[in-house]
Structures are given as C-alpha cells and as structure tokens.
Amino acid sequence: MPLEWHPVRAAIRYTTLVVVVALVAVPVYVFVESPLRALVLRLAAALVFAIAIFELRGSFVRALALDGGSALDDARRRGAAPPEVPPHFQALIGDVRAGARSRRYFEQTLWPRIATLTPRQLAPPRLRFFNRGPALADLRDAIAGIEREP
C-alpha cells in the first residue's frame, strides 16, 4: 500500500487541533495572572508543535519501513561473517604473542602448556632482554622439535 499524503485532510486535522487547543487555552489565559499569560500561550503553541513533529516522525518511519531499509540496516541484520580462522586458533595466536612480549607469561603459562605436548623433558628457548619472552623464531624452532619427535 503506497504512502499517500492528503493536504486537505492534513489541513482539516491541524485546524481542528488548533481550535481544540485554543478552546482550552483561552479560558486559562483569561483567568491567570498577567505574568503567566505568555507561559500559557507558549505551552499551547508547544503542544501543537509537538503533535505536528510526532506525526511527521511517524510518517517518516512508515515511509522508511515501506522502502525496505538501507544497505547499512541490511548489513546489521545479517551480522558479522564467521572468521576464516577458528576462535581456538585465534586465542592460541594471542597466547603466543603474549608469551613473546612477557617473560613471566611465557614461563608461567605458555611454556608449561607447550611442555605438556611431549613426554620428554624440553629445554625452553632462549629468552630475550628486558623481561621479554623468546623470539618467535626460537619458539618456532622449539615447536618444530616437538613435531619431529617420533
């Protein structure tokens, strides 16, 4: 059903609204003190303006609903694409990077996990200066040694 706007209907509707608000506001305007009369007029005008804005907003929402939405809305509904790398491997990559940055993380977390992969006793790779873990190349060599094991 197409969204249609009829100017005659809108004019009748808003004229009726203004008349109803005026019928309520005029007696209040007459009976209030002089300093409050400007406030009564402003409140009546604000009421008419607010109703007009809400109707305008509603017509925009209906028009957008009939349009089907934008490409951004469609992308938001679809959600994110699944990662090409499984989450377990992404976590493992994060652990290796953290082990290369921090000696403490490497010695207390990463190396014990790596050492459980083989039954024989492994010598940890050479650590770098300034409380950093091993270089990625040294860590790669240590893991390659585990993989060559029979």
Position 131 scores a pLDDT of 79
- Distance from chain centroid for Cα 109: 33
In the chain, pLDDT over 90 holds for what percent of residues? 25
Q: Which of 57, 63, 60, 55 is closest to 14 using CA atoms?
A: 55
Sole residue written with tokens 């939405």: 69
What are the tens digits of pLDDT across the range 73-84?
777 777 676 767
Radius of gyration of the chain (CA): 36
Q: Where are the domains of the chain?
A: 7-78, 87-148
Specify the higher pLDDT residue, 26 or 69: 26
Quick one: which H or E segment has residue 147?
Answer: helix 136-148
Q: Which residues contact 145 (CB under 8 A, 6 or more apart)?
A: 122
The answer to whether residue 1 scores a pLDDT higher than 50 is no
